[in-house]
């Protein structure tokens, strides 16, 4: 499928972000939520920071301390054979999983959708017991005159999805946890369908080794139920191991289009398309057999966690899919796909 990548890519990189503390460095700015507010494109960036420490003896995990209201560094001995350092994103010891970076969310604004001004102050930072390992991967769904923001809140209690809202991207209201552990990759449909809100989500069944996409309904956006299974990883190829919703769904004449991500056996993240019935979005019409977008460029294949393209949001305008995506868990990039091409792939 033809993909237009902006020649300006990456459009935002770690060096564009001022670290929140002198002893932290920004290792990634990626997986941005996107919406329009007046004449501006708004991105809600995920900023990942790691301790600035050149140590060949220890790995450090930054954790938010609720009492001190600040980040401290937990130390892990690289020579301890009981500790698993195999994934650069995390460290696992007998106490469980810890992350090697801590994320928060920051707003960037643009008139042309390519050149962004990044705000100095963060939009949302960890502040409660469910967020002490960081807040990640926001999605924005504009419903009526409110922008609903859901993001992943991580702590040793598990991976949850939290709901907040804003009208102006200046002040935010937190509403509570929408989806309990472990659940992430939540996208809320941007309008009510037959009077109900809908969301795609990705619960985990460790007992049955499942990472499937489900759909749920809600009367109020905070409480979700009538959960229904949608699709599983395909078992082979680009989405063989894991899948999850990525961008907020958008409506077309053929139904709701969801751009989702798939992970293969080599931990390579690509994007595919899913078509859902307009009025009964729990009915799957079709799914692309091949990925519609794969890591190919140097900035997608190399970085903090390479071979990753991952989106948390897009603008669907003029029959174009304007995709803001994270490359290699390091950068914000921009690409365009034609709806017509996607619809052909969905047939």
Contact residues for its own copies, defined by CB under 8 A: 96-97, 129-130, 156-160, 163, 175-183, 201, 203-210, 212, 214, 216-220, 222-229
Taking the complex as a whole, the smallest distance from the CB of residue 227 to its own copies amounts, in Å, to: 4
Taking the complex as a whole, the smallest distance from the CB of residue 53 to its own copies amounts, in Å, to: 25
Taking the complex as a whole, the smallest distance from the CB of residue 230 to its own copies amounts, in Å, to: 10
- The nearer residue to its own copies, 18 or 223, going by C-beta atoms, is 223
**Would you tell me how many other CB atoms lie within 10 Å of the CB of residue 289?**
12
Taking the complex as a whole, the smallest distance from the CB of residue 244 to its own copies amounts, in Å, to: 14
- The nearer residue to its own copies, 226 or 347, going by C-beta atoms, is 226
State how far Cα 175 lies from the chain centre: 19
Taking the complex as a whole, the smallest distance from the CB of residue 136 to its own copies amounts, in Å, to: 13
Placement of tokens 């991580």 in the chain: 154
- The nearer residue to its own copies, 79 or 82, going by C-beta atoms, is 82
Distance CA 262, CA 291 (A): 8
Taking the complex as a whole, the smallest distance from the CB of residue 267 to its own copies amounts, in Å, to: 15
- The nearer residue to its own copies, 108 or 178, going by C-beta atoms, is 178
- The nearer residue to its own copies, 9 or 183, going by C-beta atoms, is 183
- The nearer residue to its own copies, 89 or 111, going by C-beta atoms, is 89
Q: Half-sphere exposure of residue 8, counting CA atoms within 13 Å on the CB side?
A: 14
Is 61 in contact with 48 (CB distance < 8 Å)?
no
Is 64 in contact with 132 (CB distance < 8 Å)?
yes
- The nearer residue to its own copies, 224 or 256, going by C-beta atoms, is 224
Is 139 in contact with 33 (CB distance < 8 Å)?
yes
Distance CA 28, CA 13 (A): 7
84 Cβ contact list (under 8 Å, min separation 6):
91, 92, 93
Strand partners, 164: 149, 174
**Would you tell me how many other CB atoms lie within 10 Å of the CB of residue 208?**
7
Taking the complex as a whole, the smallest distance from the CB of residue 183 to its own copies amounts, in Å, to: 7
DSSP state, residue 248: P
Can you spell out the DSSP letters for 238-257? GGSSEEEE-SPPEEETTEEE
């Amino acid at each position: 499928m033809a993909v237009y990548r902006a020649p300006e890519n990456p459009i935002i990189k770690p060096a564009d972000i001022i670290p929140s503390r002198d002893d932290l460095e920004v290792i990634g700015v990626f997986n941005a939520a996107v919406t329009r507010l007046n004449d501006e494109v708004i991105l809600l960036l995920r900023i990942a920071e790691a301790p600035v420490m050149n140590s060949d003896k220890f790995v450090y995990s930054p954790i938010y301390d609720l009492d001190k209201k600040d980040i401290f560094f937990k130390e892990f001995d690289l020579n301890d054979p009981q500790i698993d350092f195999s994934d650069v994103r995390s460290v696992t010891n007998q106490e469980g999983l810890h992350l090697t970076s801590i994320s928060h969310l920051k707003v960037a604004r643009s008139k042309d959708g390519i050149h962004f001004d990044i705000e100095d102050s963060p939009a949302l930072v960890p502040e409660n017991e469910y967020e002490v390992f960081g807040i990640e991967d926001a999605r924005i769904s504009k419903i009526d005159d409110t922008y609903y923001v859901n993001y992943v809140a991580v702590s040793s209690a598990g991976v949850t999805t939290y709901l907040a809202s804003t009208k102006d991207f200046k002040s935010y209201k937190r509403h509570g946890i929408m989806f309990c552990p472990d659940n992430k990759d939540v996208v809320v449909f941007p309008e009510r369908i037959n009077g109900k809100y809908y969301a795609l989500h990705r619960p985990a069944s460790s007992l049955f080794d499942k990472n499937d996409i489900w759909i749920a309904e809600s009367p109020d956006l905070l409480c979700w139920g009538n959960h229904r299974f949608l699709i599983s990883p395909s078992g082979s190829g680009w989405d063989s191991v894991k899948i999850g919703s990525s961008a907020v769904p958008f409506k077309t004449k053929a139904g709701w289009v969801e751009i989702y991500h798939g992970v293969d056996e080599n931990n390579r993240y690509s994007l595919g398309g899913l078509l859902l019935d307009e009025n009964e979005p729990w009915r799957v019409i079709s799914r692309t057999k091949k990925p519609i977008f794969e890591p190919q460029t140097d900035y997608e294949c190399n970085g903090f966690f390479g071979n990753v393209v991952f989106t948390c949001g897009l603008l669907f305008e003029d029959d174009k899919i304007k995709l803001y995506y994270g490359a290699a868990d390091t950068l914000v990039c921009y690409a365009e796909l034609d709806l017509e091409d996607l619809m052909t792939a969905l047939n």
